[in-house]
Amino acid sequence: MQTIEQLLESKNIRVTAMRLLIYKFLAQKQVAVTLSDVENAFEKADRTTLYRTVKTFEEKSIVHQIDDGTGITKYALCENGCNCEIETDLHLHFHCNNCNETICLTDHKIPQIKVPNGFISEDVNLVVKGVCDKCSGQ
Amino acid sequence: MQTIEQLLESKNIRVTAMRLLIYKFLAQKQVAVTLSDVENAFEKADRTTLYRTVKTFEEKSIVHQIDDGTGITKYALCENGCNCEIETDLHLHFHCNNCNETICLTDHKIPQIKVPNGFISEDVNLVVKGVCDKCSGQ
DNA sequence: TCAATAATTGCACTTCCGTTGCATACAATT
DNA sequence: AATTGTATGCAACGGAAGTGCAATTATTGA
């Protein structure tokens, strides 16, 4: 079990107080968060810092970006072994129309999608919308 | 073969010059368009009018909205028999990372996606990104 | 036909999100 | 300790989406 400090350093990210806090915030969340969510959690910090921190995490493959169709970009921590950059590893995301939360269905991989001749598939974004387990009451 | 006027009236949309023009513009396009695209095509008209016209078309199921991950909402005419509201009819969209255009692969339906117990799937958004046939040179 | 009503259009303005430039503060290295 | 590089905070910008209201246009009914 490596510490957060070790994880950041292994990705060539300088360890700062801000970054540790933001990492912990993301780790504690079970759902994908927007930048506003982060802002609300750290009201003393500046918008830009939070923005750039998350962007740094994204560049270094610590978080992945999620476009769930709400028009607002969300972010979630990559799990161990989450190779977001590899197409075949892409998992799908579920957006709840009721509570408006988006979660990673990490163990649900995206099926192979056929595209017409001449088209080259490099990336797939799949978002299922509906009602999540908490809201469906099941 | 029904005229555009008849189509609009059948959907309870009042026929105006603007709406006919915008409909023809959408019909002539082979790819999904942004509101900016529409604005550029009709520079004399007001943004708001174009915005509301497209929104009206969307509400009346004449166009469907596409979220291709660029962060900008795009729109495309529904084809004959395109029942966007019905989940099983959903087709997928292809976004070209080269020319930045998004096209409807109308005859490529989205496969059935399994979700965990307790989750209720109501809608699916599937965007494949890569290189389109024009840009791939094949 | 003309008034009354309803819907459409145009203008101004606002909000929200993402992003960048620059100055300052902090940390690492020699 | 001085230098260098990175992080942070502040201010501001730009694009896109959306709203309120006045003006214009179309429709309806007398």
Q: What is the mean pLDDT of residues B31-59?
A: 96
Interface contact flag, A131 B120, Cβ < 8 Å: yes
Task: Collect all residues of chain B within an 8 Å Cβ-Cβ radius of residue A104.
Answer: none
User: Which nt sits closest to A13, CA to C1'?
Assistant: D6
The answer to whether the Cβ–Cβ distance between B123 and A128 falls below 8 Å is yes
- Top mean-pLDDT range of A1-5, A29-33, B32-36: B32-36
Report which residue is nearest nucleotide D9 when distances run from CA to C1'.
A46
Residue B39 — φ and ψ, nearest 5°? -60, -45
Please, what are the domains in chain B? 4-136 (1.10.10.10)
Buried b / exposed e over A93-118, threshold 16 CB at 10 Å, is bbbbeeeebbbbbeebebeebebeee
* Partner-chain contact B116 A138, CB within 8 Å: no
Residues B109-121: tens digit of each pLDDT: 888 888 999 999 9
* Average pLDDT rounded to a whole number, residues B46-65: 95
Strand C footprint nucleotides (protein C-beta < 7 Å):
7-12, 16-21, 27-28
Q: What are the φ and ψ backbone dihedral angles of B73, each rounded to 5 degrees?
A: -70, 135
| pLDDT band, residue B85 (cuts 50/70/90) | low
Mutation pick from A106, A128, A129, A133 vs chain B, by most beta carbons of B within 10 Å, is A128
End-to-end CA distance of chain B: 35
Does A83 have pLDDT greater than 90? Answer: no
B2: pLDDT strictly greater than 70: yes
- pTM of structure: 0.88
Inter-helix orientation angle B17-28/B47-59, to 10° = 70
Q: What is the pLDDT of residue B89?
A: 56
Mean confidence (pLDDT) of chain A: 89
Percent helix, strand and coil across chain A, each to the nearest 5: 35, 25, 40
For an interface test with A, give the residue of B94, B127, B128 to mutate (most A CBs within 10 A): B128
Question: What pLDDT is recorded for position A89?
Answer: 56
Q: Could you tell me how far CA A65 lies from the centroid of its own chain?
A: 5
Interface residues on A facing B, Cβ-Cβ cutoff 8 A: 67, 69, 71, 73, 92, 94, 97, 105, 108, 111, 113-133, 136, 138
Tell me how far apart the alpha carbons of residues A121 and B70 are, in angstroms, rounded to a whole number.
16
Sheet hosting strand B120-131, strand order edge to edge: A102-109, A91-96, A120-131, B120-131, B91-96, B102-109
